[in-house]
Chains A and B, each alone.
Chain A
Amino acid sequence: MFKIQSSNQGLSVYTDKFKDLIISVRFSYPNVEPYVTMSNLLSYIITDRSEEYPKKQDMSLKMDELFGLSLNSKTSSLGYAHTLEVRIKTLNERYTDFPHLKASTEFLFSSINYPLFNEMTFNEAKINLESTLKRIQDKPSYLGLLKACEGIGKDTPLQTFSQGNLDVLRNVQLRDLISFHHKLINEVKPDILIMGDIDLNSMKGIYSILDFKGHSTNQKTCYKFEAKHHFRSTIQKNVDQSTLTQLYTTNVEYSDPNYFALRVLIIMLGQLPNSLLFQEVREKRSLCYSISAGSFNFDGIMTIQTGIEYSKKELVETLIEEQIIKLKKGQFSLKLLNIAKKMFVNGLESMEDDQNAYLGFLFQRSITGKNIDLKESINLIKKINKEDIIRVSNQLVLVSEFMIRGKN
């Protein structure tokens, strides 16, 4: 059983079922450029070197000394908010030769507060981020989503790619980054989440070390994206397969009462082997290997993506449309609805066996103020009925379609 404690200092989950302890520090700020690109640069620099450990080798040796401690950082978009997470994962002291929790926490604090800023670390981070962004764009599935969002997202969070922007990156200067870091550390109170097998005193010890100066900013997150126009575009790429990406507005975001109904609808449409899209496009007609539906939960967007032959584009588009019409008209079986609900519940319940997923759930709940726990969420999902699905389906509007046309 988990023991969850929430305080002004942070959120902690006591459990002895894992061999690791995770301490996660998450800063939230507006999801706009150049913040997003700069936070991705920071993400590289923080985990690379610090003033205390100014060489890569020093960092590496310190982490190995702390029993293979891992220091990771990542960024993500949550609607109007963008977050920079820095976390350590360290072995439970039960498996180690000497206590290291205090030293591990100090290492985390020092890495966040005192990263090594100089031209060398800055340029290296820029090169790394540039190469990452290019690699992402080389993958048709990512490229499709990026372009479909760009096509409709002007002046909205949808326009901002969570991993940064190549044009912004080229113009960022070291002094801008230092100033952004200073602002983050001094003005934003981060969310601190701890999960693992530690006693109350150790927990207090962690909070006292992670004494950040910032104050709560109440950063807004969820919004319902409204498209000003419809976007449709095709590019040619020298690949074997064509990739079709569609975006739909849903008028439902994470904090909306209809959120769980939307998620169930998406599972029914394209997240299970017996989902409507999978059955119709793949199983009945062998038109693709993969077809799936997904969502940007904080923006109120549903996505559909598939890899097909270009000559079958129109047929696939028609079939997708037909499946959505089936949902709108209630022409689906209760069996499919019940299966989707069960699988959603199964996924939520299984989160308790995955530290990262569980902490992610707690953080999203905390940042949106959506104060319902896992049990309540599951109860709400179980109550979803056919009418709920029909109602939410009828809010779906296709607003963006991007095709990467392959050779075949």
Chain B
Amino acid sequence: MEIKYYAEINETHYESKLDNGLKILIIQKKDYKSSSCFIAYPYGSLDIKQKIGDQTQEYPSGIAHFLEHKLFENNNGMDIMETFSHLSANVNAFTSHTETVYYFNSSKKNIKKPLNLLLDFVQNLSISDASVEKEKGIIIQELRMYMQMPEQRLVLETFQSLFHKHPIRLDIGGNELSVNSISREILERCYELNYHPSNALLVCITPNHPDLILSWIIENQKNKKFNEFNEINRIIDKEPSSVYHKNYEFEMDIQSSKMTYSFKVKSTFPNNKENLLKEWKYRLFLELVFSSMNPQYEKWMSENRIHDYFGYDVELNNEYGYIMFYGENEDKDNFINLIHEGLDTNINEFEGFFERLKRRYFAQLLRQFDDQDDYAITLIRSRFSHVDITDSILCLKEVKYSDLLLIRDEILEMDTSFVKMNCKV
């Protein structure tokens, strides 16, 4: 096992890779009462077009999420969730744009049985046509539930306005049509391709000794047979740098109109460490301008142009990038003007605050290592995007004040999209 000590965060990682390709990362938290184990696959809602060898395959949207639902199906007569509960372990899973993660948490010191169960159920799909049909009703209710949550709906509509083709514009769970088109055969094919141990990362955060955890994993894996692993690549069609809708409005049964004003990043770096660095530059610039650090912010509030439901989100990776401002406001022009006034702020007078702001973000980054779930998910996402767990801290440290002086012009060169959710009377 390889041992890596990260001085910046005072954390030690124990890493290993089994012959079948399964990558393992163990973090011992001696003072903790509970253990959390996560098995993750870089298979999310964006993976609807994949290249395997020289073949390209396409799937209905929502397929990864559907598969996540079906993995929990009774396996050889055993109810997986019930068995976890019986072992004093809470099991759950989620599908995001870029990964599917299954995990359990238990306050019992000995987690050999739930760990075995996690590996066993994720490494074995057993479904029937009838059960796939039955699941469709449940998933459609889930899609409807999320569609009536105003904030989530607004983000989805924003992605649909920003992007022409990129699958980020699709709901993680797909839509009613795509869900209804999914069959047992499709699910089995996707499982076969994407759930190979070589494609998986197992993360355990536990008070147990890493050697003990590793020995349990090896014992579990040694007699399992897997087909040969085929390298899979996500195919993303070339996305224009322009936005799909410059302006889009829709109605919902809400009391206050909400809106987003977004900037589509023209091109991102193939290397995600560079994207991380750029994202920090954007974030630091935006925080200096669109937060209480800027005296204008207080003025905007007092003029009732914004209130506490105002903010921004930035995401930048090797596939796409955007900056999204959101708020509650009836007046489109007022909101857009405010964003441009903010971007035009002379930040020279904020130079003295720059190091303090970095200190705040440094504290926030450190804090995530106290929470087992945050820690594990950060680790998983770092690995899948080929960056190191401390790269975020290192990139933050690397940003210089002078870097921020170029950001305004860079943002203003991007194409923009405005989306408004109106109150339905």
Contacts and interface: CB of A to CB of B under 8 A. Distances in A.
In the complex, which of the residues B136, B295, B364, B367 has the most CB atoms of chain A within 10 Å of its own CB atom?
A: B367
Interface string A161-196: 000000000000000000000000000000000000
Given A131-B256, A273-B81, A56 B89 contact: no
B148 A19 contact: no
Interface in B265-319: 291-295, 297-298, 301-302, 304, 307-309
Contacts of B81: 272-274
Given A15-B31, A353-B372, A91 B366 contact: yes
Contacts of B255: 134-135, 137-138
Contacts of A61: 293, 353, 356
B307 A288 contact: no
A346 B88 contact: yes
Given A127-B304, A408-B144, A353 B32 contact: yes
A81 B357 CA distance: 38
A103 to B, nearest CB: 14
Interface stretch (A63-71, A150-158, A207-215): A63-71
B373 to A, nearest CB: 10
Given A131-B307, A241-B141, A17 B256 contact: no
Interface of A: 1, 15-20, 44, 55-57, 59-61, 63-65, 67-69, 89, 91, 95, 120, 123-124, 127-128, 131-132, 134-135, 137-140, 237-241, 272-274, 282, 286-290, 307-309, 335, 338-339, 342-343, 345-347, 349-350, 352-355, 406, 408
B292 A56 contact: yes
B120 interface: no
Contacts of A57: 292-295, 297-298
8 contacts: A44-B308, A131-B309, A135-B150, A239-B253, A241-B144, A287-B137, A345-B107, A406-B144
A406 B144 CA distance: 10
Given A57-B292, A273-B72, 10 more contacts: A64-B357, A238-B253, A238-B424, A286-B138, A289-B142, A308-B141, A346-B108, A350-B107, A353-B32, A353-B372
Most chain A Cβ neighbours within 10 Å, of B88, B145, B295, B362:
B145
Contact of A60 (B29, B82, B86, B293): B293
Contacts of A353: 32-34, 372
Contacts of A120: 302
Interface of B: 10, 29, 31-34, 72, 79, 81-82, 85-86, 88-91, 105-108, 134-139, 141-142, 144-145, 147-150, 252-256, 291-295, 297-298, 301-302, 304, 307-309, 328, 353, 356-357, 359-364, 366-367, 369-372, 424
Given A64-B353, A238-B424, A139 B144 contact: no
A74 to B, nearest CB: 14
Contacts of A65: 356, 359
Contacts of A132: 308-309
Contact of A346 (B79, B89, B137, B302): B89
A123 B298 CA distance: 13
A68 B362 contact: yes
Nearest to A137: B255
A25 B147 CA distance: 38
A123 B307 CA distance: 11
Contacts of A347: 90
B292 A59 contact: yes
A238 B422 CA distance: 13
B31 to A, nearest CB: 4
Contacts of A335: 82, 86
B328 A131 contact: yes
Contacts of A137: 255
A61 to B, nearest CB: 6
Nearest to A335: B86
Contacts of B32: 17, 352-353
B347 to A, nearest CB: 13
B298 A56 contact: yes
Contact of B134 (A15, A17, A286, A307): A286
A71 to B, nearest CB: 12
A63 B138 contact: no
Nearest to B291: A60
Nearest to B366: A19
A70 B361 CA distance: 11
B88 A342 contact: yes
Contacts of A68: 359-364
Contacts of A63: 360
A342 B298 CA distance: 50
Nearest to B372: A353
Contacts of B253: 138, 237-239
The 5 tightest CB contacts between A and B, nearest first, are: A68-B363, A56-B292, A349-B107, A286-B137, A273-B81
Contact of B88 (A308, A343, A355): A343
B138 A288 contact: yes
Contact of A128 (B86, B106, B308): B308
A20 B368 CA distance: 11
A354 B295 CA distance: 36
Contacts of A287: 137, 141
A95 to B, nearest CB: 6
Given A131-B308, A346-B107, A240 B292 contact: no
Contacts of B137: 286-287
A56 B85 CA distance: 48
Given A18-B370, A135-B309, A307 B85 contact: no
A55 B309 contact: no
A134 B257 CA distance: 11
B418 to A, nearest CB: 20
Nearest to A342: B88
A343 B134 CA distance: 28
Given A63-B360, A64-B356, A343-B88, A352 B145 contact: no
B308 A17 contact: no
A60 B4 CA distance: 36
Given A19-B369, A342-B85, A64 B360 contact: yes
B31 A16 contact: yes
Contacts of A286: 134-138, 141
Contact of B145 (A1, A20, A123, A241): A241
A308 B307 CA distance: 34
Contacts of B366: 19, 91, 95
B76 to A, nearest CB: 17
A81 B105 CA distance: 33
Contacts of A19: 366-367, 369-370
Contacts of B359: 64-65, 67-68
B70 to A, nearest CB: 13
Contacts of B254: 134, 138
